[in-house]
Amino acid sequence: MVIPDSLKVLRLQTGHKHCFLGKLSSEVGWNHYDTIKVLEDKRKEISKAAYERKKQLAKLRIKAEKAAEEKLGPQLDILSVVKY
């Protein structure tokens, strides 16, 4: 996990100036800041949907594993002896 504020504190030397690349670029004439912002919002929406789907699949997998364990209980005891 990356925490930008902590990286700024850890990596930048005290007293040195810093800036944000997007702000600097827009000040010198880069005109695509709004486009990038829209695309980033779309990416976040898609990413959120994918994450929700991943959570649902994880819940289904846990449910299926429990059902299989109940169904195969005695057989799993036999297989556990041979470390399967």
pLDDT tens readout for residues 28-64? 888 888 888 899 999 999 999 999 999 999 999 999 9
The Cα–Cα gap between 39 and 24 comes to: 19
Rg (CA), the chain: 25
pLDDT attached to residue 84: 59
The Cα–Cα gap between 78 and 84 comes to: 9
Q: Is the pTM of this model over 0.75?
A: no
Residue with structure tokens 């005891």? 77
